[in-house]
């Protein structure tokens, strides 16, 4: 272990992580058991490159995000593109997290040194701009350095593919092929890799192309700027604001009132403990701003602006944050109606843990519907896609512009919807009631168990498989589906689904990005209150099973 750590330190180009590792080695060599444990934690393996790329806490060693790991990943991706005969070109983007710009430049230099044509985005920009650039530039791959909505000390590495993959994120077996190429690089020394600095830096025209294409996805506002619904916006210390502001203006919408404490990129995320709009408290400042200015909508992007959260006035002087499913219903309904009006056929899609409400919308408008595995890499690849979403605040409103979730285009769609409703004397809250009247009163909820020991996740799933519940909260389980056994249209996956009497559904799965077991509960009833009561009952019943 000490030899591996010393070897790693010798090839580390970062003064900070090298000093961190050298200090641990010195302490461990002197018999410090805590230092030895820290080294074992960092050198027990290496970060697994999967369909989500890489994501981990910043720090020294192969199980952390650092310049050595990123250099190995960049060289491995480049070799994959070369060895598989794909286009030898790549675009690299980065967000505002700590070291994102450094990791992006390392990637550009290493891939250029291996002979690829490389374009680096001109500044810290949203993930959707990178996803757009893959298709717009016609390159073989795209790399986005981001940890999205993860804790402040994390960073990550996300990969998109061009060509036949049409700008979507990677899926198996490509992830394994890239991982094997990275392992091949990791067997050597990153100091032996040739670097080159003659890569291209994209101009402002590329960002403007994204702005123009996104702004064109909605019709012109019906109301004049001063009469449009008032919006409060937060970038949550991320990179969304400048691009979102340009998109809103290009589409003809009034500039939102911002949350000044959170509007500029800041990798320390000083006002939130967890920069995820789903987390309790994350939107408190935005909602307070909305109350102060009398906003009709409060909109939040996550730090890399590929997700969107929405809150609306609750009638008691505060705001209610809509769930990802509620936003998905409204945007899906809007997309289906627009497709029907245009005589367009196609498919609505959502991950299997998202609400079944979208299937009813598709049926009503004569569209196809498709469930996918969790992860937008699957949603974006549905043939004939008109609209897709995940309950985790991800929405794809125009597959012709970006083949990934996009929190900026989704925000624009909500501004357009709110404008159209206001022009007819209605609101988002009214529209939710209309949805229930039209399609049924759906409700959804979640239970999550965070673990310190990852083996606990496997134990929970094994216990559920060995002793499946016959009822939950007094409601009979009519069907149990284990996706590990293979379900038509899905690869084997660690997912359990329980269908209950009365169109209720409970799905259990390990989180793909956090040390959690997550439970998704969906119901439909005669009224929203009745549906929510059943969600609460089922949540109480399932909580002990996953704790």
Annotated catalytic residue, options 9, 100, 107, 148: 148
148 catalytic per annotation: yes
Which residue in 159, 84, 175, 157 sits closest to 491, CA to CA? 175
Rounded Cα–Cα distance for residues 478 and 499 (Å): 6
Rounded Cα–Cα distance for residues 396 and 167 (Å): 13
Taking each helix axis from N to C terminus, what angle separates 324-341 and 407-423, rounded to the nearest 10 degrees? 70
Q: Are 327 and 395 in contact (CB under 8 A)?
A: yes
Q: Are 78 and 178 in contact (CB under 8 A)?
A: no
Rg (CA), the chain: 24
Cα–Cα–Cα angle for 249, 254, 259, rounded to 5 degrees: 100
For 387, half-sphere exposure in the C-beta direction (CA atoms, 13 angstrom radius) is 26
**Residues in CB range of 38: below 8 A, 6 or more apart:** 24, 28
Alpha-carbon distances of 66 from 50, 56, 59, 105, 391, rounded to whole Å: 17, 9, 6, 13, 31
Taking each helix axis from N to C terminus, what angle separates 127-137 and 407-423, rounded to the nearest 10 degrees? 100
Residues belonging to the active site: 148
């Amino acid at each position: 272990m000490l030899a591996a750590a010393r070897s790693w330190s010798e090839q580390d180009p970062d003064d900070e992580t090298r000093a961190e590792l050298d200090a641990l080695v010195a302490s461990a060599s002197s018999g410090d058991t805590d230092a030895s444990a820290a080294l074992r934690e960092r050198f027990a393996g290496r970060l697994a490159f999967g369909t989500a790329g890489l994501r981990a806490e910043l720090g020294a060693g192969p199980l952390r995000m650092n310049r050595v790991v990123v250099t190995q990943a960049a060289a491995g991706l480049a070799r994959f593109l070369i060895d598989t005969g794909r286009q030898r070109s790549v675009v690299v983007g980065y967000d505002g997290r700590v070291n994102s710009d450094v990791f992006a430049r390392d990637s550009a230099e290493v891939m250029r040194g291996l002979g690829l044509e490389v374009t680096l985005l001109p500044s810290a920009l949203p993930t959707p701009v990178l996803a757009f650039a893959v298709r717009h530039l016609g390159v073989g791959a795209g790399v986005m350095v981001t940890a999205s909505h993860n804790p402040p000390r994390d960073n990550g590495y996300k990969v998109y593919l061009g060509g036949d993959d049409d700008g979507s994120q990677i899926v198996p077996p490509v992830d394994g092929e890239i991982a094997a190429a990275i392992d091949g690089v990791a067997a050597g020394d990153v100091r032996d890799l040739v670097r080159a600095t003659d890569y291209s830096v994209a101009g402002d025209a590329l960002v403007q192309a994204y702005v123009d294409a996104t702004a064109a996805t909605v019709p012109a506002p019906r109301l004049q700027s001063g009469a449009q619904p008032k919006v409060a916006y937060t970038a949550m210390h991320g990179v969304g604001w400048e691009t979102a502001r340009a998109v809103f203006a290009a589409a003809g919408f009034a500039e939102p009132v911002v949350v000044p404490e959170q509007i500029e990129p800041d990798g320390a995320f000083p006002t939130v403990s967890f920069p995820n709009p789903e987390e309790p408290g994350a939107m408190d400042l935005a909602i307070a701003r909305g109350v102060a200015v009398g906003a009709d909508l409060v909109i939040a992007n996550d730090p890399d602006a590929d997700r969107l959260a929405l809150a609306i006035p609750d009638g008691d002087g505060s705001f209610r944050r809509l769930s990802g499913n509620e936003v998905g219903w409204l945007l899906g309904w809007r997309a289906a109606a627009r497709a029907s009006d245009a005589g367009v056929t196609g498919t609505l899609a959502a991950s299997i843990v998202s609400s079944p409400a979208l299937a009813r919308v598709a049926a009503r408008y004569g569209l196809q519907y498709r469930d996918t595995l969790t992860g937008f890499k699957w949603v974006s690849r549905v043939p004939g896609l008109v609209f897709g979403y995940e309950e985790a605040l991800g929405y794809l409103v125009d597959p012709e512009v970006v083949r990934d979730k996009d929190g900026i285009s989704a925000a624009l769609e909500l501004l357009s919807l709110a404008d159209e409703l206001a022009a007819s004397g209605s609101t988002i809250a009214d529209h939710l009631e209309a949805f229930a009247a039209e399609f049924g009163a759906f409700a959804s909820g979640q239970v999550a168990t965070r673990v310190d020991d990852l083996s606990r996740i496997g134990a929970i799933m094994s216990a559920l498989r060995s002793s499946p519940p016959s009822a939950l909260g007094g409601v009979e389980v009519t069907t149990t589906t284990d996706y590990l056994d293979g379900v038509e249209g899905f690869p084997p996956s660690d997912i359990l689904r329980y269908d209950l009497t009365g169109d209720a559904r409970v799905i259990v799965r390990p989180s793909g990005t956090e040390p959690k077991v997550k439970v998704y509960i969906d119901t439909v009833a005669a009224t929203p209150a009745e549906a929510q009561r059943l969600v609460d009952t089922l949540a109480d019943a399932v909580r002990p099973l996953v704790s």
